[in-house]
Amino acid sequence: MLKSINLCEFTPKEEIEDRIARLKKKMSESGISFAVIIQNVDLFYFTGSLQNGVLFVTIDEKPIFFVMKNLNRAVFETSLEITSIKKEKDVKDILTDMRLLKGKGGMELDVVPVAVFERWKGILDYDEITDISRLIKDIRLIKSPFELEQIKKSGEIIGHVFGKAKDVIKEGVREIDIDAALIAEGRRMGHQGFLRMRGLNQEMMSCYVTHGYSATMPSGADVPISGVGITPAIGQGASINTIKRDIPVLVDYGGGYNGYVTDETRAFVVGEMKDIFKKAHNVAADIIADAMEFGKEGVNGTEIFMRALKRAQKEKLEDYFMGYGEGKVGFIGHGLGLEINELPVITPRHKMLLQEGMVFAFEPKFIIPGEGAIGIEVDFIVRRHGLERVTDTSIDVVYL
Amino acid sequence: MLKSINLCEFTPKEEIEDRIARLKKKMSESGISFAVIIQNVDLFYFTGSLQNGVLFVTIDEKPIFFVMKNLNRAVFETSLEITSIKKEKDVKDILTDMRLLKGKGGMELDVVPVAVFERWKGILDYDEITDISRLIKDIRLIKSPFELEQIKKSGEIIGHVFGKAKDVIKEGVREIDIDAALIAEGRRMGHQGFLRMRGLNQEMMSCYVTHGYSATMPSGADVPISGVGITPAIGQGASINTIKRDIPVLVDYGGGYNGYVTDETRAFVVGEMKDIFKKAHNVAADIIADAMEFGKEGVNGTEIFMRALKRAQKEKLEDYFMGYGEGKVGFIGHGLGLEINELPVITPRHKMLLQEGMVFAFEPKFIIPGEGAIGIEVDFIVRRHGLERVTDTSIDVVYL
């Protein structure tokens, strides 16, 4: 286990208070009288606990954290007062007694299924409930110093795993063997076990080992490099493709500590690699250096994307930039936090002014069709005067 | 890789045709004129592909499989004709041209989030869409011979991993180290990478290594034994608890092959174990033997549960049966297939007549508070004249 990994690091009381205060403020600004939070990740964010429960927040009153199961664990985990309930229906009785069900309600309708929403409207006997998911995402977008600490620890797992990759990647070894060894190494070091991605059909592996053709094959997922996988039922991740000399192996690995996800990519090569790969890797490194120079609070994410694209165009690599043909994706960065697809998205498609405390993965990558893929992914924390790397792991190609 | 693991084993044409025919029949019986299937697992079930697409089924016409991305992979994977589209909106234009949007529509409203449902109603400009998730679950409930083959291969991974567990479980080793080694071993043998569980907040690990107190601690999840985990952000799975002599280690492991999930549990002990554990393990074995004797097509699942409970009561173990106190769960079995929480559920709470081709995990388990847990989990295929084990792995306690 890494020294930095603490077991059961609970979310501090002030942290929870601040998050709920920000939620109340946003609710007030949006004319939302009460919020009913049931998705596990949001529940963890606002309570510190992921037990089976429901968080009820109004603008003026203390939040009510209803817990069904497991009460003892919830008591340990949250600094909020807990209201123990036996069944969901109890929520309605308590809220009715307290006369708290009035005005416009809000739920996380980006993730709450229709049938669950209908059940809750029935339980509460209340119809006027609107979507507050954007409001919650906007709150979660800015990370507190406590969250940045968790993210850095998550990043330390990545650093360790990339170190291990040097020992594991060898000619003739299968992508899946490298995957197995790295996942195990991360877990032994304290990886939480899996990564979360928000929304219907959003699935995520902790490790993507891709090499040669399997790195060039697009998938249904909105990622530049997803791998082939070993079954059409999960068409992503490592395949049984074996490592050949002189062709880069990309290891895209996600750390996970205390819920917080990190996501970085490094390139490894047994032998030497072709000039096209070297050139593209250097351009990726330049794009990262430029982003660190240019990016800071107030800068628009669209500009960061466009500067990267221009750098690729200058080297005549634009056809390969962020995928090839049908597999091209329209972003170079995605927000990180408790989920791997948080805001901000760094894309030319919509404006997103960087603010201090945002965290995002930045992944200039190139697909050389028929040959392989190359690129780098690093995680950035937005600071007032620049971008700070989450890990201090080298971004150089590792020659084996 | 296990010999039985084939790469890219595609779903046969007749299989897809039969599934869609059954869907049409159920739709017709329920007065549903068209189905719009968008959840990835259902999409895989009815098309053989998990690419980014939408399946549109009417009672009388050929199904239309709209694919956005990745078209080439979808062509390989599915036996259905593909209609390539650029954006979701194209679905509406094509369906309008074909005059197929009429009558009552259906979607998977147990999993489709409210915002996604609203978006689709807007895209189709159609409001009369109802929940067909139960109908789809009922179709998926009965496994075809092809599916049973996939499930048996998934089970072979389990058998192999339990064999490996004998070498890995040692005094002083942490639960998390055992987890890491077993996950890696399964992956090297061809495990698909992760397991799927249907519904909001349903999260699943592939491996649960629990021992002593960590096996006795209930969680928010509706499972008899979930483990403590290493962070409140994922309060389940292996912990850093180290293995002590004479206390059982439970390994609850899920195979995953070509989408199909299996789920079995075995007990391991370094040294000897107390009589209470031995007794409870024997009762669990008796319960399994009795279920195999008694269970067959036409038997009610409630009876299977009640016979197991009575056996536990006879030995005065009912307080420990299927959890203790707050952690007790109300089922002894759950359906398996592409998701780990399929039908049937073996519970006293609702009637469920077994039918040939159902598959379920059966898990008589006992929590001895303050001491540890013991139990067995095996997977059954329902046959006309009995229950068939999915794996042939011994259910005896392994003494190390």
ipTM of the complex: 0.97
Residue in B with minimal Cα distance to A67: B220
Which site among A177, A230, A324 would you substitute to test the B interface, given the most B Cβ atoms closer than 10 Å to its Cβ? Answer: A230
Cβ atoms within 10 A of the Cβ of A262, count?
29
- Region of B348 on the Ramachandran plot (φ > 0 left; ψ -120 to 50 alpha; else beta): alpha
Q: Is the pLDDT of residue B8 over 80?
A: no
CATH class of the domain at B142-399? alpha beta
Fold match, B13-139 / B142-399: no
Cβ atoms within 10 A of the Cβ of B13, count?
12
- Contact between residue A323 and residue A329 where contact means Cβ atoms under 8 Å apart: yes
Q: Is the pLDDT of residue B58 over 80?
A: yes
Q: Is the pLDDT of residue A6 over 90?
A: no
Both tokens assigned to A190: 């304290």
Over range A214-230, report the average pLDDT: 91
pLDDT 10s digits, A58-90? 999 999 999 999 999 999 999 999 999 999 999
**Rg (Cα) of chain B, in Å, rounded?**
22
Q: How far is A302 from chain B (nearest CA, A)?
A: 23
Q: How far is B283 from chain A (nearest CA, A)?
A: 27
The reported pLDDT for the residue numbered A208 is 98
pLDDT 10s digits, A243-254? 999 999 999 999
8 Å CB contact of A51 and B235:
yes
Residue in A with minimal Cα distance to B241: A7
Give the one of B7, B115, B200 whose C-beta lies nearest to A39's C-beta: B200
Contacts of A262 in chain B (CB under 8 A): none
Q: How far is A299 from chain B (nearest CA, A)?
A: 30
Which residue type occupies A272? E
Contacts of A44 in chain B (CB under 8 A): 232-233
Window B:350-389, CB contacts with A under 8 Å: none
Is the pTM of the predicted complex or chain greater than 0.90?
yes
For chain A, which residues make up each domain, given as ranges? Answer: 13-139, 142-399
Residue in A with minimal Cα distance to B206: A193
Q: Does B237 touch chain A (CB under 8 A)?
A: yes
Which residue type occupies A290? D
- Contact between residue B322 and residue B332 where contact means Cβ atoms under 8 Å apart: yes
Window B:74-113, CB contacts with A under 8 Å: 74, 76-77, 107, 109-113
First to last CA, chain A: 26
The reported pLDDT for the residue numbered A4 is 79
The reported pLDDT for the residue numbered B360 is 98
Contacts of B113 in chain A (CB under 8 A): 109-114, 199-200
Q: Does A210 touch chain B (CB under 8 A)?
A: no
Which site among A112, A185, A187 would you substitute to test the B interface, given the most B Cβ atoms closer than 10 Å to its Cβ? Answer: A187
Cβ atoms within 10 A of the Cβ of B369, count?
13
Question: How confident is the prediction for chain B on average, in pLDDT?
Answer: 96
Both tokens assigned to A51: 């037990």
Window A:265-324, CB contacts with B under 8 Å: none
Q: Is the pLDDT of residue A8 over 80?
A: no
A138 pLDDT band, cuts 50/70/90, is very high
Residue in B with minimal Cα distance to A76: B232
Q: How far is A294 from chain B (nearest CA, A)?
A: 34
CATH 3.40.350.10 fits A13-139, yes or no: yes
Over range B322-347, report the average pLDDT: 96
Q: Does A147 touch chain B (CB under 8 A)?
A: no
Question: How confident is the prediction for chain A on average, in pLDDT?
Answer: 96
The reported pLDDT for the residue numbered A171 is 98
**Rg (Cα) of chain A, in Å, rounded?**
22
Both tokens assigned to A195: 């990564």
Minimal CA–CA distance to A381: which of A306, A255, A304, A295? A295
Over range A95-116, report the average pLDDT: 97
A102 pLDDT band, cuts 50/70/90, is very high
Contacts of A237 in chain B (CB under 8 A): 193
Cis peptide before A248 (omega within 30 of 0): no
Contacts of A113 in chain B (CB under 8 A): 109-114, 199-200
8 Å CB contact of B194 and A194:
yes
8 Å CB contact of B257 and A205:
no
B7 pLDDT band, cuts 50/70/90, is confident
Q: Is the pLDDT of residue B123 over 90?
A: yes
The reported pLDDT for the residue numbered A186 is 98
Both tokens assigned to B31: 């007065």
Contacts of B235 in chain A (CB under 8 A): 50-51, 73, 77
Contacts of A110 in chain B (CB under 8 A): 113-116
Q: How far is B368 from chain A (nearest CA, A)?
A: 18
Contacts of B233 in chain A (CB under 8 A): 44, 50, 192, 258-260, 338
For residues B75 and B95, what is the distance between their CA atoms, to the nearest angstrom?
Answer: 21
Q: How many CB pairs under 8 A join A and B?
A: 242
The reported pLDDT for the residue numbered B136 is 98
pLDDT 10s digits, B242-266? 999 999 999 999 999 999 999 999 9
Q: Does A27 touch chain B (CB under 8 A)?
A: no
pLDDT 10s digits, B149-195? 999 999 999 999 999 999 999 999 999 999 999 999 999 999 999 99
Which three-class secondary structure state does DSSP give residue A325? helix
Q: Does A154 touch chain B (CB under 8 A)?
A: no
How far CA A170 is from CA of A248, A271, A277, A361, B70, in Å, comes to 11, 10, 19, 28, 30
Residue in A with minimal Cα distance to B207: A193
Burial track B220-253 (b if 16+ CB lie within 10 A, e otherwise): bbebbbbbbbbbbbbbbbbbbbebeeebbbbbbb
For residues A353 and A349, what is the distance between their CA atoms, to the nearest angstrom?
Answer: 13
8 Å CB contact of A1 and B205:
no
